Structure 1
Amino acid sequence: MAQDPQFESRKLLGRLRDTLAEDSAGQERLDRITHLIASSMGTEVCSIYLFRDEETLELCATEGLKPEAVHQTRLRIGEGLVGRVAKTSRTVNTPDAPSEQGFRYMPETGEEIYSSFSGVPIQRLGENLGVLVVQSKEARNFSADEIYALEVVAMVLAEMTELGAFIGDNDAMQARHRQSVLIRGACAQEGAAEGRVWLHEPRVVVTNPIADDPDIELKRLHDAVDQLRVGVDKMLDGAAGGDKEQLQVLEAYRMFANSKGWMRRMEQDIAQGLSAEASVEKEQNTARTRMEQVTDQYLRERLHDLDDLSNRLLRILTGQGSQTGAEMPPDPILIARNIGPAELLEYGRGLKGIVLEEGSVGSHATIVARALAIPLVIHSDRITTEALNGDHIMVDGDQGVVHLRPDESVVTAFRDKIAMQAQAQQRYASIRDKTATTLDGITISLQMNAGLMADLPSLENSGAEGVGLFRTELQFLVRNQMPKRSELSALYSRVMDAAQGKRVVFRTLDIGSDKVLPYMTPEDEPNPALGWRAIRVGLDKPGVMRMQLQALLRGANGRPLAVMFPFVAQYEEYTRAAEELEKAKERERILGHPLPERIEIGAMLETPSLGFAPQKFFEEVGFLSIGGNDLKQFFFAADRENERVRRRYDTLNISFLSFLEGIVNRCNTTKTPLSFCGEDAGRPIEALCLAAMGLRTLSMRPASIGPVKSLIRRTNLTQLRQIIVDSRERGDQSVRPAVMEFLRKNGG
Structure 2
Amino acid sequence: MPDRTESESRKLLRRLRDTLAEPGKGQERLDRITHIIADSMRTEVCSIYLFRDAETLELCATEGLKAAAVHKTRMRVGEGLVGRVAQSAQPINTGNAPAAKGFRYMPETGEEVYSSFLGVPIQRLGERLGVLVVQSKEAREFSGDEVYALEVVAMVLAEMTELGAFIGEGAALSPLHQRTAMFRGGVGQEGVAAGHVWLHEPRVVVTNPIADDPVSEQARLRAAVDALRVSVNDMLSSADTIDGEQKDVLEAYRMFANSRGWLRRMEEDIARGLSAEAAVEKEQSTARARLQTVPDAYLRERLHDLDDLSNRLLRILTGQGQDTGAEMPPDPILIARNIGPGELLAYGRSLKGIVLEEGSVGSHAAIVARALAIPLVINAERITTEALNGDAILVDGEQGVVHLRPEDTVAAAFNDKIAMQAKAQERYSSIRDKPAETRCGTRISLHMNAGLMADLPSLEGSGAEGVGLFRTELQFLVRNKVPRRAELAALYARVLDASGGRRVAFRTLDIGSDKVLPYMKREDEPNPALGWRAIRVGLDKVGVMRMQLQALIRAANGRPLTVMFPFVAQFEEFTAARDHLMRELDREEKLGRPLPEKVEIGAMLETPSLAYAPRQFFELTDFISIGGNDLKQFFFAADRENERVRRRYDTLNVSFLTFLEQIVKRCGDTGTHLSFCGEDAGRPIEALCFAAIGMRTLSMRPASVGPVKHLLRKSDLREARAIIETARERGDQSVRPAIMDWMRSQNWAV
Q: When the two structures are superposed, what TM-score results if normalisation uses the length of structure 1?
A: 0.99
Aligned CA RMSD, in angstroms, stands at 1.1
Q: Give the CA deviation at 1:70.
A: 1.1
Q: Give the CA deviation at 1:242.
A: 4.9
Q: Give the CA deviation at 1:250.
A: 2.2
The equivalent residue for 2:165 is 165
Q: Give the CA deviation at 1:592.
A: 1.4
Distance 2:233 2:177 in 1: 37
Give per-residue Cα distances to partners, 1:569-604, cap 9 Å, x unaligned. Answer: 111011110111111111211221111011100000
1:743 aligns with 2:743: yes
Give the letter for the 2:742 counterpart.
Answer: F
Distance 1:241 1:153 in 2: 45
Q: Give the CA deviation at 1:248.
A: 3.2
Q: Which moved more, 1:696-705 or 1:295-304?
A: 295-304
The equivalent residue for 2:387 is 387
Percent identity between matched residues is 75
Distance 1:164 1:378 in 2: 29
SS in 2 for 1:183: strand
1:203 aligns with 2:211: no
1:27 aligns with 2:27: yes
Give the letter for the 1:307 counterpart.
Answer: D
CA contact (8 A) 1:628 1:680 kept: yes
1:460 aligns with 2:460: yes
CA contact (8 A) 2:249 2:305 kept: no
Q: Give the CA deviation at 1:192.
A: 1.2
Give per-residue Cα distances to partners, 1:57-111, cap 9 Å, x unaligned. Answer: 1111111111121111111111111011001101011111111121111111111
Distance 1:550 1:121 in 2: 61
Q: How does 1:583-594 map to 2 (within 5 A)?
A: 583-594=583-594
Q: Give the CA deviation at 1:731.
A: 1.9
The equivalent residue for 1:179 is 179
The equivalent residue for 2:106 is 106
Q: Give the CA deviation at 1:3.
A: 6.7
Q: Give the CA deviation at 1:256.
A: 1.1
Distance 1:115 1:149 in 2: 20
Distance 2:436 2:583 in 1: 39
Distance 1:140 1:686 in 2: 68
The equivalent residue for 1:330 is 330
The equivalent residue for 2:127 is 127
The equivalent residue for 1:526 is 526
Distance 2:544 2:221 in 1: 48
Distance 2:556 2:682 in 1: 29
Q: How does 1:236-251 map to 2 (within 5 A)?
A: 236-240=236-240, 242-251=242-251
Distance 2:210 2:67 in 1: 29
Q: How does 1:468-483 map to 2 (within 5 A)?
A: 468-483=468-483
Distance 2:302 2:451 in 1: 35
1:699 aligns with 2:699: yes
Give the letter for the 2:544 counterpart.
Answer: V
SS in 2 for 1:642: coil
Q: Give the CA deviation at 1:241.
A: 6.8
CA contact (8 A) 2:243 2:518 kept: no
Where in structure 2 are there 5+ consecutive unaligned residues? Answer: none
Q: How does 1:396-435 map to 2 (within 5 A)?
A: 396-435=396-435
Q: Give the CA deviation at 1:499.
A: 0.4
CA contact (8 A) 2:512 2:534 kept: yes
CA contact (8 A) 1:203 1:321 kept: no
SS in 2 for 1:525: coil
Distance 1:3 1:232, change over 3 A: closer
Distance 2:576 2:365 in 1: 32
Q: Give the CA deviation at 1:727.
A: 1.5
1:256 aligns with 2:256: yes
Distance 2:238 2:100 in 1: 55
The equivalent residue for 1:156 is 156
Distance 2:136 2:382 in 1: 36
Where in structure 1 are there 5+ consecutive unaligned residues? Answer: none
Q: Give the CA deviation at 1:13.
A: 1.1
Distance 1:126 1:326, change over 3 A: same
Give per-residue Cα distances to partners, 1:694-719, cap 9 Å, x unaligned. Answer: 00000000000000001001111011
Distance 1:597 1:646 in 2: 43
Give the letter for the 1:475 counterpart.
Answer: Q
Q: Give the CA deviation at 1:321.
A: 2.9
Q: How does 1:562-641 map to 2 (within 5 A)?
A: 562-641=562-641
Distance 2:243 2:202 in 1: 30
Give the letter for the 1:469 counterpart.
Answer: L
CA contact (8 A) 1:569 1:607 kept: yes
Distance 2:553 2:423 in 1: 43
The equivalent residue for 1:44 is 44
Q: How does 1:476-515 map to 2 (within 5 A)?
A: 476-515=476-515
The equivalent residue for 1:731 is 731
Distance 2:741 2:735 in 1: 10
Distance 1:120 1:504 in 2: 61
The equivalent residue for 2:235 is 235
Q: Give the CA deviation at 1:24.
A: 2.0
Q: Give the CA deviation at 1:252.
A: 2.4
Q: Give the CA deviation at 1:513.
A: 0.3
Matched positions, count:
748
Distance 2:369 2:488 in 1: 22
CA contact (8 A) 2:394 2:404 kept: yes
Distance 1:481 1:114 in 2: 66
Distance 1:306 1:541 in 2: 36
Give the letter for the 2:598 counterpart.
Answer: R
Give the letter for the 1:224 counterpart.
Answer: A
Give per-residue Cα distances to partners, 1:614-650, cap 9 Å, x unaligned. Answer: 0011000011100000000001111000111111111
Give per-residue Cα distances to partners, 1:246-271, cap 9 Å, x unaligned. Answer: 43332222111100111111111111
Distance 2:403 2:519 in 1: 38
CA contact (8 A) 2:242 2:519 kept: no
CA contact (8 A) 2:436 2:712 kept: yes
The equivalent residue for 2:291 is 291
The equivalent residue for 2:352 is 352
